[in-house]
């Protein structure tokens, strides 16, 4: 990550304020360069952008992964450079860097922050984020003034003690995660015993990214787990995967377990069905999912009147789409591409959309369709101004296709927040 630091903000031209008010970028550059110049530990050095950007959201805390007293030292550096004034950080160029704190949450497998926006709308403050994809981290930084930490397994692998997790992942009320669904290993207990390894609940999820959620939740004990996944998680491996997840949350962690498949089409003009799991530390909380019934929204409601011509398919590509569709229909399998019915919700936006747009082709007067614009793709997932999409079209499409739907998360977050004061 340090090698990509220059791609974030560069290292020159730091403006030192005299009144103590630091613009976020200048404060970031100042602290980062002081640390990067002589920091020795390679594994932590790679996480310096995350360490510094997280700390700047709470400059009176201790920086993650650093020893006690580091925060005071960094503050003294800043005070010296601004004439002894008490430092303050200006986030005005990052309107999505919310400073409210009705409750605290962590954003794991964060993507581009769909969970973050929805939880911030209810007054939540993000105190920790993690995302391994470099392009998604760039988008996250540009919107929230925060670089997520990388692979969450840096904090949760088997070599890490519970104390390490407890000391380096901040306390929080809500753990939010749209975790990837990897096949669960159900290796036999006898095999684990022969290797001298743990078995039982942890064995069932070892090697999956769900394990990392379980590990953090078992140490930090947040009030709520707020999880999302593809709807097929429910039927994966004959239902055994979902059953394992529920068993671990209820029996091992001692949380309640509420789940529902929700279609986003009444909040955004896209049919996108996802399974949401909401689990309370207090199993007596009488949570109910909010109602998502209503009239599906139509795709034409978010289409631009004068889209950029660069989104138009070429005649050759459109002919190729039609020919492949015809061949594959005749054999009953494979690639198909059809024009979207703009009076209905769009099909599910997927991460591969950038390749050829076949999942949602918009009719035009020329008879040759176009792809969704990046702005339209953002609206299909509920991202509105002032959110900034990644400047690369392919990266933007991938990120929106992998994201949670913001208005769905926001409605669920509102329902969750009502119960937070009741959780002991």
At 10 the pLDDT is: 65
Place of tokens 């970031």: 28
Mutual angle of helices 48-56 and 24-36, in 10-degree steps: 140
User: Residue 416 corresponds to which tokens in the numbers above?
Assistant: 């969750």
Is 122 in contact with 407 (CB distance < 8 Å)? no
DSSP annotation of 69 reads T
Q: Mean pLDDT, to the nearest integer, of 347-370?
A: 95
At 30 the pLDDT is: 92
Of 199-203, 283-287, 361-365, which gets the smallest average pLDDT? Answer: 199-203
Which residue, of 60, 93, 126, is where some domain finishes? Answer: 93
Q: How far apart are CA 179 and CA 108, in angstroms?
A: 8
CA distances to 49, 78, 91 from 17, rounded to whole Å, are: 22, 9, 15
Is 177 in contact with 109 (CB distance < 8 Å)? yes
Which residue, of 25, 59, 93, is where some domain finishes? Answer: 93
- 204 has a pLDDT exceeding 90: no
At 203 the pLDDT is: 53
Is 38 a domain residue? yes
- 202 has a pLDDT exceeding 60: no
| Catalytic residue flag (residue 181) | yes
Give the domain extent around 340. 299-402
CA distances to 258, 289, 412, 413 from 285, rounded to whole Å, are: 11, 12, 15, 15
Read off the pLDDT of residues 270-279 as tens digits, 9 standing for 90 and up.
999 999 999 9
Is 412 a domain residue? no
Is 368 a domain residue? yes
Read off the pLDDT of residues 365-407 as tens digits, 9 standing for 90 and up.
999 999 999 999 999 999 999 999 999 999 999 999 999 999 9
Longest dimension (CA), the chain: 76
Is 396 in contact with 390 (CB distance < 8 Å)? yes
DSSP annotation of 298 reads P
At 182 the pLDDT is: 56
Is 351 in contact with 397 (CB distance < 8 Å)? yes
At 155 the pLDDT is: 96
CA distances to 50, 146, 288, 387 from 393, rounded to whole Å, are: 25, 22, 39, 15
Read off the pLDDT of residues 161-181 as tens digits, 9 standing for 90 and up.
999 999 999 999 999 999 886
Helix (H) or strand (E) holding 106: strand 103-108
Closest CA to 268 of 362, 382, 348: 382
- 200 has a pLDDT exceeding 50: no
Residues 6+ apart with CB under 8 A from 330: none
Q: Mean pLDDT, to the nearest integer, of 243-270?
A: 96
At 193 the pLDDT is: 40
Place of tokens 């974030």: 8
Closest CA to 144 of 178, 175, 104, 111: 111
Is 265 a domain residue? no
Is 5 a domain residue? yes
Read off the pLDDT of residues 137-160 as tens digits, 9 standing for 90 and up.
999 999 999 999 999 999 999 899
At 407 the pLDDT is: 98
Read off the pLDDT of residues 63-113 as tens digits, 9 standing for 90 and up.
999 999 999 999 999 999 988 889 999 999 999 997 778 999 999 999 999
The pLDDT-based confidence of 332 (bands split at 50, 70, 90) is confident
Is 389 in contact with 396 (CB distance < 8 Å)? yes
The CATH number of whichever domain residue 372 belongs to comes to 3.90.120.10
Q: How far apart are CA 309 and CA 373, in angstroms?
A: 10
Share of the chain above pLDDT 90, in %: 77
Tell me the DSSP string of 259-277.
Answer: EEEEEGGGTSSB--EEEEE
Q: Look at the alpha carbons of 178, 182, 183, 184 in this order and tell me if their dihedral is positive or negative.
A: negative
Which residue, of 70, 93, 116, is where some domain finishes? Answer: 93
The pLDDT-based confidence of 61 (bands split at 50, 70, 90) is very high
Round the average pLDDT of the chain to a whole number and report it: 90
At 195 the pLDDT is: 37
- What pTM, to 2 d.p., does this model score? 0.92
Is 244 in contact with 205 (CB distance < 8 Å)? yes
Q: Which of 98, 181, 288, 360 is catalytic?
A: 181
At 24 the pLDDT is: 96
User: Residue 344 corresponds to which tokens in the numbers above?
Assistant: 């209905």
Is 42 a domain residue? yes
Is 211 a domain residue? no
Read off the pLDDT of residues 109-132 as tens digits, 9 standing for 90 and up.
999 999 999 999 999 999 999 999
Task: Count up the domains in the chain and report the number.
Answer: 2
Share of the chain above pLDDT 70, in %: 90
The pLDDT-based confidence of 188 (bands split at 50, 70, 90) is very low
Q: How many CA atoms lie within 13 A of 3 on its CB side?
A: 2
Per the model's pLDDT, the better-predicted residue between 290 and 157 turns out to be 290
At 99 the pLDDT is: 74
Q: What residues are paired with 227 via a beta bridge?
A: 177, 277
The pLDDT-based confidence of 41 (bands split at 50, 70, 90) is low
Q: How far apart are CA 274 and CA 379, in angstroms?
A: 18
Q: Is 325 helix (H, G, I), strand (E, B) or coil?
A: helix
Is 381 a domain residue? yes
């Amino acid at each position: 990550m340090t090698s990509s630091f220059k791609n974030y903000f560069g290292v020159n031209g730091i403006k030192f304020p005299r009144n103590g008010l630091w613009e976020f970028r200048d404060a970031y550059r100042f602290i980062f360069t002081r640390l990067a110049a002589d920091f020795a530990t390679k594994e932590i050095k790679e996480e310096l952008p995350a360490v510094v950007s997280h700390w700047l959201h709470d400059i009176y805390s201790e920086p993650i992964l650093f020893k006690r007293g580091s925060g005071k030292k960094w503050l003294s550096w800043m005070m010296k450079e601004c004439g002894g004034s008490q430092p303050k950080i200006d986030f005005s160029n990052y309107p999505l860097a919310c400073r409210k704190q009705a409750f605290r949450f962590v954003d794991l497998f964060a993507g581009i922050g769909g969970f973050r926006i929805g939880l911030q709308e209810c007054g939540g403050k993000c105190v920790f984020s993690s995302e391994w994809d470099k392009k998604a981290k760039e988008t996250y930084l540009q919107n929230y003034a925060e670089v997520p930490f990388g692979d969450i397994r840096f904090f949760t692998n088997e070599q890490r003690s519970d104390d390490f997790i407890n000391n380096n992942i901040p306390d929080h009320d809500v753990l939010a995660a749209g975790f990837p669904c990897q096949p669960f290993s159900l290796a036999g207990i006898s095999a684990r015993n022969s290797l001298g390894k743990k078995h039982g609940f942890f064995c069932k999820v070892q090697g999956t990214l769900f394990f990392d959620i379980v590990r953090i939740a078992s140490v930090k004990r947040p009030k709520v787990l707020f999880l999302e996944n593809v709807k097929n998680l429910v039927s994966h491996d004959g239902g055994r995967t979902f059953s394992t997840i529920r068993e671990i949350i209820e029996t091992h962690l001692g949380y309640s377990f509420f789940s529902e498949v929700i279609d986003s089409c009444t909040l955004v003009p896209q049919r996108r069905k996802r399974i949401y799991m909401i689990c309370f530390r207090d199993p007596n909380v009488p949570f109910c999912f909010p109602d998502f019934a209503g009239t599906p929204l139509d795709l034409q409601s978010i289409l631009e009147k004068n889209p950029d011509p660069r989104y138009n398919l070429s005649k050759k590509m459109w002919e190729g789409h039609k020919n492949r569709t015809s061949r594959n229909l005749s054999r009953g399998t494979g690639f198909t591409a059809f024009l979207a019915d703009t009076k209905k919700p769009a099909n599910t936006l997927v991460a591969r959309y950038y390749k050829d747009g076949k999942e949602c082709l918009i009719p035009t007067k020329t008879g040759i369709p176009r792809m969704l614009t990046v702005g339209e793709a953002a609206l299909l997932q509920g991202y509105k101004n002032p959110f900034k999409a990644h400047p690369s079209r392919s990266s933007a499409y991938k990120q929106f296709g992998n994201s949670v739907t913001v208005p769905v998360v926001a409605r669920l977050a509102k329902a969750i927040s009502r119960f937070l004061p009741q959780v002991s």
